[in-house]
Amino acid sequence: MENVLERAKRLRYDEKIEEFRQKTLLPYWAKVNYAITRVRLYEQECGIRGLNTHVSVGGLDSITLLIFLRKVCALDIPAVSVSSLEDKSIQAVHRLLGIETLKPLRSKVNVIKEFGYPILSKEIANKINLLQNPSEDNKTVRHAIITGETGEYGGYRTGTRMKLSQKWLELFGGYENETEGVHYQTPDFKVSDRCCYYLKEKPCDDWAKEHNSVPYLGLMASEGGRRAKSLMMNGCNYFGATTIRSAPFAIFSRQDLLQLAIDLDVPIPEIYGEIRKKPDGVLYTTKAQRTGCSMCGFGIQLEKRPHRFDLLRQTNPEEWHFWMYKQGWGHVLDYIGVKWEDEVDLTDCYQLTFDSLDDENAEYPQKTEGFEEYFL
């Protein structure tokens, strides 16, 4: 049996990741041209395979992608979104752009009750979920999550990233106390990474199958998370056995994306505020830096206050009370050490970011000179 190390060598993953990283160092203009080329190649290959294409849209990144495809690449393709999960200002932009609205397969409440809370990150939540649902098939993986030691398929390595960090092992590793001889805690609630699948991914996948269509996604490796390494290994355009997708902005940084949004006159949903430039040239949005479902806890442990749930308390106190008290989110946040119940001063403080952004002396950024030549 070929193990993961042998497979990585055969598929040249290390070389592909290094090549990808080199592309992320390209200047803005080169990245835009690279994205245009990826789109043309994707459309060409999809045409050969008899496939249609569409855009899966959510927040600012994918909204920018849609306008990029329409304005710069001159593609008149449909766009779909499960808009009901987004902020109202994002929904308004979706309507403005004529994006088709899909319905989630399940309610947010139902997903949490059946599968568990989406906390920490998709990768961590998936590992905790495996610990909470032991089987003979996942025995080796559970051992790796506790110890970092892999079996035959993993190349018999030790100290791998499969192991949960000690902080989260202390809180969630207790399911393996007897089998591993450890003494960790176990929570009284379930954890899962399946919310996105039932709320967003599956509805979009079902629409795609019905329309014989494959998606463009506004993913960027610079955003990190579970998909970052996959983007680096598989590139912008991926034609796999079961998955086909294009992520033209995969090599973009956040700065590239925001500059492109400026150049294309992208309608910015109110939840993001405005795009401004700090004295050192760094672009940012004056309100939320990221958005998502109101009940999503991925990355919450990394946010300084006021965090996303503090802002929800201000913008929609009834929904905040519903999630915190009636649906148990307050208890979950207490368990992972995230404060939420005491009120914080939100005056002039909307940032959903890890670093405090000072609006004083901020400037309005300018369009890139000559960019309109792409679509005039």
pLDDT confidence band for 210 (50 / 70 / 90):
very high
What single DSSP character describes residue 248?
T
Q: 317: part of which helix (H) or strand (E)?
A: helix 317-321
Q: HEC states along 84-152?
A: HHCCHHHHHHHHHCCCEECCCCCCHHHHHHHHCECEECHHHHHHHHHHHCCCCCCHHHHHHHHHCCCCC
Q: Could you report the per-residue pLDDT of 352-370, keeping only the tens digit for each? A: 443 444 455 667 888 998 8
In the predicted model, what is the mean pLDDT of the chain? Answer: 90
Tell me, what's the pLDDT at 354?
36
Report whether pLDDT(70) > 60: yes
Burial status of residue 13 (CB atoms within 10 A of its CB: 0-12, 13-18, 19 or more): middle
* Residue 123 near residue 168, CB atoms below 8 Å: no
Tell me, what's the pLDDT at 190?
97
Q: State the pTM of this model.
A: 0.87
Domains of the chain in sequence order: 4-105+195-268 (3.40.50.620), 119-180 (no CATH), 294-364 (no CATH)
Tell me, what's the pLDDT at 353?
43
Tell me, what's the pLDDT at 347?
61
Q: What are phi and psi of 352, to 5 degrees?
A: -100, 70
Q: Could you report the per-residue pLDDT of 245-275, keeping only the tens digit for each? A: 999 999 999 999 999 999 999 999 998 999 9
